[in-house]
Structure 1
Amino acid sequence: MSHRRFFNEEIETLPKEKLKALQLERLQAIVERAYHQNQFYRTLYDEAGIKPADIHSLEDIHKLPFLEKKTVREAYPYGMALAQPGEAVEMHATSGTTGKSVPVFATRKDIANWADLNARELWMTGVRPGDVFMNCYGYGLPTGGFGFHYGAMEMGVLAIPMGSDARQYERFIEFILDFGVAGVCMTPSVGLYVGNKAREMGVDFKGSKLKVGLFGAEPWPWETRLKLEEYFGFTAYDEFGMTEFLGPGMTCECEVRDGMHAWADAFLVECIDPETGEPLPDGEEGELVWTWLAADGTAMIRYRSRDLSRTWWDERCPCGRTHPKIGAIKGRTDDAVSIRGLIVFPSQVEAALIRFPETGANFRIIVDKKNGLDTFDLKVEIKDGAILENAEHAKVLGKQMGEAVKSITGNTPHVQLVPADSLPRASGGESKTASARVEDRRKPR
């Protein structure tokens, strides 16, 4: 069993045309059900002049109005539900840091499907029955911890629900070594933090059983992947999910690591121009829009994610899977910050800073206005506090970091080096770089 290539070979290798036919069948079914069972959707579609019978092809999805987070929040608490308490057996919700939470109601069918999707991803990255998997995403209303936990249980893997508190890094390290952990999942920033602490403690994971690391919840550049692999001695994979769709379990890299497979039997992903809302051709970068085709307890149809990426769909990946792909998440439309007329993403800054061995696990972009002009300050955590005691060394290093950031973003920041662990940190499945790594003081308070 453990030597087979796929967890669910039939669906993972289903020919593209059959997958598209399945998508259309499920799209028609979820639109029909939402319209007739949910007052929110009936009103939304009636106002748009759309009926379920108008969906004849996958392209007809463009007739349906987008869901915006603001609109969905207006349906709080039960407005998006297809199942009521009693039918729904589990509820999750977004963090609500910028408004009311978006609740998601899951039936037993949803939980079973969620477990299958996550088991596919774990299997795809090399986790096998009998392995030990340490889950360092948060367990709570956001779905980060639960998805991979259910997936591990589904495939006969011992799951350790470690949680996302990086401050217990000594236990992270201890458990990896003592329990023979083969796979871990966490945010990239937590991974950098724990990996750096292990290095400081003289811990070398090369002799451990670690082989797989899954990372998501934050955009992260290839340079960060290489640093994580250097720290832990495993292969690092990108994965993506959203609480609104019971993520993780939406997309993940295979061994090819050229884009993340988006499970077409469960989700339909579009890429649109974030300004016009018009669909973009394969390979062109834009905003991802998701429809939950296999949903039972909650309807999410054409939901704008604000995540920037690209999509494409080949007949078959070299790994043998036939599902479409999305590229690495570049950033979000709401964490992209315009500085002096140029767009800067936290992932670009990270790609520049990770080149410096002195860089710690976190940084913070601070944008303000002075005399009518944008200011760009960058606080960077430093591993070794002794550097801060040498003013000349710190000045030179800060200047070098600023030049590196300029080479990627076109903007030169004023760099301030700060002690390790002194900045806000994204730590859970619902964390986004906007809240932890960007502070735009120009915005109205």
Structure 2
Amino acid sequence: MVTYQKFFNEEMETLPKRQLKALQLERLQAIVERAYTQNSFYRTLYDQAGVGPSDIRSLEDIRKLPFLEKKSVREAYPYGMALRPVGGEGGILQLHATSGTTGRSVPVFATKKDIDYWADLNARELWMTGLRPGDVLMNCYGYGLPTGGFGFHYGAMAMGAMAIPLGSDARQYERMRDFILDFGVTAVCMTPSVGLYVGNKLAEIGVNLKESRLKIGLFGAEPWPWETRLKLEELFGFTAYDEFGMTEFLGPGMTCECEVRDGMHAWADAFLVECIDPETGEPVDEGQDGELVWTWLTGDGTAMIRYRSRDLSRLWWEERCSCGRTHPKIGAIKGRSDDAVSIRGLIVFPSQIEAALVKFPETGANFRIIVDRRNDLDTFDLKVETKDAAIFAQPEALQRVQKQMAEAVKSITGNTPQVQLVPADSLPRATGGESKTASARVEDRRKR
């Protein structure tokens, strides 16, 4: 591997848009044909919708196919989404699954072909953010049934970097410090909330990460605002990049920012992404906000066709990004249609709350939105972890900060919360292994 080359897979990463779309159509037709002829779940689904493989003559014809919902995919459990037999030559060799925190897990089946393609996609992303052979990646995503840890691990090996599979337990921040300093770690990947926790903890014990070899941070698995990116860069002294993936598609390796950091490139040779109005299911104009819908064009062991992600973003194509790549872009994940919470008639996203709180030096690594209803009126409580317990001995300062936080949240959301500062590490958090959403930060008691 030539370390000074600009792309990991130049031919595919720079394929002209016209050729990319032709490749997408070819692969879309092939996966629909395979799903219909080899999978009883899809055959029944498409027969009921009155559509078949011969109806897919253009990329726009994908709209003739019914959406996949997580509920319907769960009904196909355990092997209903599989396209290959288990084991043997060309068969399923690896199983991953969603967390199942809101219901039965969604399994995803991977063949050797899938794993090799997955490694290539992740290698593209690592290379795109600046990693090169000889670099050291400390992988702080969870290793297990969710795919977070494995994707970047395979990608690092494919492009010649050393991977340290540390895992997602943020409480081992002192061990992270030792590995960063002792093994010359140049890049880390983790969730933003874990990054804030670790960065703040290391700053508290006097570790200056700006003196380390760290240069790159990849963050995903939960929505995070630009303000959090700036805070992470301040704590770690690196350049932070946004990445996105879904376990249902062997994510990560679906999208990532290039050096331009204006949207994440979505690998069009492997995935066809649509952006729809979450209420009507109709496509929105290019560049407009909507819900992302994904089709896995290269899936060999699993078929995922028109799967509604519930992630809110936007989608656009450029003939060629200034980085040289031609693949379409999605914007930062704003939130999820099922994470958005309506409070007093106004929609509030956890990422909006984070954008307001991260500006306060007293803010720790986590917060929790608690919505309830009393006397037919919505209540909005916000618990915020603080970095320094000393503030609890200063009642006036405590009240002042809580009031200022409430005002900052109101300025963004239009709603005034009752803010309560709480000790560090006292609130539940998602680590990326369990969840790719901000749902750990929302407790809606009105649903009980």
Return the TM-score normalized by structure 2. 0.98
What is the letter of the counterpart of residue 337 of structure 1?
A: V
In 2, distance between residues paired with 1:83 and 1:212? 38
Could you tell me which of 418, 426, 430 is aligned with 2:422? 418
State the match for 1:375 in structure 2: 379
In 2, distance between residues paired with 1:272 and 1:388? 47
Could you tell me which of 286, 300, 307 is aligned with 1:303? 307
Runs of 4+ in 1 over 6 A off after TM superposition: none
Could you tell me which of 431, 437, 443 is aligned with 2:441? 437
More displaced stretch, 418-427 vs 298-307: 418-427
Is the Cα contact below 8 Å between 2:216 and 2:239 reproduced in 1? Answer: yes
In 2, distance between residues paired with 1:97 and 1:166? 20
Trace 1:50-129 onto structure 2 (pairs within 5 A).
50-86=51-87, 87-129=91-133
Matched, 1:274 2:278: yes
Matched, 1:130 2:131: no
RMSD: 0.6
Is the Cα contact below 8 Å between 2:157 and 2:163 reproduced in 1? Answer: yes
Could you tell me which of 287, 293, 296 is aligned with 2:297? 293
In 2, distance between residues paired with 1:386 and 1:51? 65
In 1, distance between residues paired with 2:359 and 2:133? 37
State the match for 2:192 in structure 1: 188
Describe the SS at the equivalent of 2:96.
strand
Is the Cα contact below 8 Å between 1:243 and 1:430 reproduced in 2? Answer: no
What is the deviation of 1:388?
A: 1.2
Could you tell me which of 151, 164, 176 is aligned with 2:155? 151
What is the deviation of 1:24?
A: 0.1
Trace 1:394-413 onto structure 2 (pairs within 5 A).
394-413=398-417
In 2, distance between residues paired with 1:432 and 1:376? 24
What is the letter of the counterpart of residue 61 of structure 2?
A: D
Matched, 1:365 2:369: yes
Describe the SS at the equivalent of 1:381.
strand
What is the letter of the counterpart of residue 57 of structure 1?
A: S
Matched, 1:341 2:345: yes
Describe the SS at the equivalent of 2:446.
coil
Describe the SS at the equivalent of 1:174.
helix
Query: CA-to-partner distance for each residue in 1:231-282, whole Å, 9 max, x for gaps?
Result: 0000000000000000000000000000000000000000000000001111
In 2, distance between residues paired with 1:366 and 1:12? 44
Matched, 1:312 2:316: yes
What is the letter of the counterpart of residue 12 of structure 1?
A: E
Trace 1:157-172 onto structure 2 (pairs within 5 A).
157-172=161-176
Describe the SS at the equivalent of 1:44.
helix
Matched, 1:34 2:45: no
Matched, 1:240 2:240: no
What is the deviation of 1:212?
A: 0.4
What is the deviation of 1:312?
A: 0.1
In 2, distance between residues paired with 1:130 and 1:343? 46
In 2, distance between residues paired with 1:205 and 1:172? 11
Describe the SS at the equivalent of 1:291.
strand
Describe the SS at the equivalent of 1:388.
helix
In 2, distance between residues paired with 1:263 and 1:211? 24
In 1, distance between residues paired with 2:15 and 2:410? 46
Aligned residues: 444
State the match for 1:14 in structure 2: 15
In 2, distance between residues paired with 1:366 and 1:8? 46
In 1, distance between residues paired with 2:360 and 2:396? 17
Describe the SS at the equivalent of 2:360.
coil
Describe the SS at the equivalent of 1:141.
coil
In 1, distance between residues paired with 2:437 and 2:170? 17
Trace 1:181-220 onto structure 2 (pairs within 5 A).
181-220=185-224
Describe the SS at the equivalent of 1:442.
helix
Stretches of structure 1 lacking an aligned partner (at least 5 in a row): none
Query: CA-to-partner distance for each residue in 1:47-86, whole Å, 9 max, x for gaps?
Result: 0000100000000000000000000000000000001211
In 1, distance between residues paired with 2:98 and 2:314? 24
In 1, distance between residues paired with 2:318 and 2:380? 41
What is the letter of the counterpart of residue 37 of structure 1?
A: Q
What is the deviation of 1:428?
A: 2.1
What is the letter of the counterpart of residue 221 of structure 1?
A: P
What is the letter of the counterpart of residue 102 of structure 2?
A: T
More displaced stretch, 200-209 vs 8-17: 200-209
Describe the SS at the equivalent of 1:316.
coil
What is the letter of the counterpart of residue 47 of structure 2?
A: D
- Counting aligned pairs with the same residue, the percent is 82
Query: CA-to-partner distance for each residue in 1:371-392, whole Å, 9 max, x for gaps?
Result: 1000000000011101011111
Is the Cα contact below 8 Å between 1:346 and 1:433 reproduced in 2? Answer: no
In 2, distance between residues paired with 1:339 and 1:389? 32
Stretches of structure 2 lacking an aligned partner (at least 5 in a row): none
In 2, distance between residues paired with 1:353 and 1:388? 18
Describe the SS at the equivalent of 1:338.
strand
In 2, distance between residues paired with 1:430 and 1:58? 34
What is the deviation of 1:338?
A: 0.2
State the match for 2:146 in structure 1: 142
What is the deviation of 1:347?
A: 0.2
Return the TM-score normalized by structure 1. 0.99
State the match for 1:328 in structure 2: 332
What is the deviation of 1:434?
A: 4.2
Query: CA-to-partner distance for each residue in 1:398-438, whole Å, 9 max, x for gaps?
Result: 00000000000000000000001110011124424443100
Query: CA-to-partner distance for each residue in 1:308-359, whole Å, 9 max, x for gaps?
Result: 0000001000000000000000000111000000000000000000000110
Describe the SS at the equivalent of 1:169.
helix
